[in-house]
Amino acid sequence: MVSILLSIFDTRLGPVSFMAIPQKLNAEIVKKTAKLMDFVHEPDEFFIQEDPEDGIKSINLALAIPSKWARGGVEMAQLSVITTEESPPIDLFKQRMIEFRDKLLEDQDIYMAFYRGNRKEYIPASFYSSASGQGIDPATLDGTIAAKCDKIFSLMDYLQNQVRIDTPTTYAYLTTLGKLSQDEAVQMPRSALNELKEIVHVKSASNVFAVFRKIGDMMKIDLIPCSGQVIKVRIIVLELTPEFIMRTSQVISLPLLFTSGICQEKAGKCSYEAYFSIPGDVDETIQRVQSGLQQLPHVQKVDIQLVS
């Protein structure tokens, strides 16, 4: 399931939901995601929030939309893609979200959409009249606002169609534990190998990163095309917040390959584990990341391993 949420900052109420697709998106999830705006983010900055309690991840993009009616001349907003996928294609989501932002900003009057309903009270009185007689006509205001809302809805509907997870293609075979132990290898059907080759070619990758995950009573395998070396980063932190995750991403500043998410440790501690590809010098990068992470507040331990 993939949902789209656009939140705005109301000067009286704080962060509020403006529009969601589907419209009947869980109210508690909407509220939690919109509240992420309370953490200060620079315009056009991405940050990821995981909520194990609800089983969702949100990829969020902070937006600053020029506005003639807002204080400071800018409407603060947040675009969120909310998914239940364990390993969503984050790079694809980010690309599509940037396309949404660029298309939204093509309309210089799109900010008018944010003044529907009671928010019309926020429109400065000076805009209802002007010396040249070109002020807002109250009789047409609702229609203008509705048209801008429809435009945003169309863009969000298109975005959801672009990021909706396709039905997975599967290939399978049956083996015994004895044969698997003897071969120490997992057989790969030729059709699956051909599919992987195509993905590697499209991404211009030089390697394939393989990760094995124990989830409950099963073992899952992911094959992820990548370039360069790979490191595993594990952080033990005493207090985990959306701001911490955002700052961690800024410090590491490497292509994310895979994350097993955030786990609750004993005594209230949390651990964050992820794998990143290193396109440049390995030793220099590890030293930079190690030093940067250890300077973050509430960090108790940082462990970085080179994946061979």
Q: What is the mean pLDDT of residues 113-142?
A: 82
Q: What is the mean pLDDT of residues 137-164?
A: 90
Q: What is the pLDDT of residues 160-179, one digit of tens each?
A: 988 876 556 788 888 999 99
Q: Give strand pairing partners of 19.
A: 6
Q: What is the pLDDT of residues 285-306, one digit of tens each?
A: 999 999 999 998 888 899 999 9
Name the least confident of 11-15, 100-104, 270-274: 270-274
Q: Which of 167, 165, 118, 174 is nearest to 145 (CA)?
A: 118
Q: What is the mean pLDDT of residues 221-237?
A: 90
Q: What is the pLDDT of residues 178-211, one digit of tens each?
A: 999 999 999 999 999 999 999 899 888 999 999 8
What would the DSSP string read from start to end of 167-230?
PPP-------HHHHHHHTS----HHHHHHHHHHHHHTT-SEEEEEEEEETTEEEEEEEEE-SEE
Please report, to the nearest 10 degrees, the dihedral formed by the alpha carbons of residues 47, 112, 123, 32 taken in order: -30
Share of the chain above pLDDT 70, in %: 93
Token digits of residue 18: 């403006």
**pLDDT given at position 150:** 95
Confidence of residue 147 (pLDDT cuts 50, 70, 90): very high
Residue 307's φ and ψ, nearest 5 degrees, are: -85, 120
Residue at 243: amino acid letter: E
Q: What is the pLDDT of residues 252-287, one digit of tens each?
A: 888 888 877 666 666 667 888 889 999 889 999 999
pLDDT at 109 over 70: yes
pLDDT at 50 over 80: yes
Residue 293 near residue 251, CB atoms below 8 Å: yes
Residue in the block written with tokens 């902070």: 62
**pLDDT given at position 107:** 95
How far apart (Å, rounded) are the C-alpha atoms in residues 33 and 8? Answer: 11
245/152: higher pLDDT:
152
**pLDDT given at position 165:** 63
Q: Quick one: 54 exposed, middle or buried, by C-beta within 10 A (0-12, 13-18, 19+)? A: middle
Token digits of residue 93: 């989501």
**pLDDT given at position 286:** 94
**pLDDT given at position 208:** 93
pTM of the model: 0.59
Q: What is the pLDDT of residues 27-36, one digit of tens each?
A: 889 999 999 9
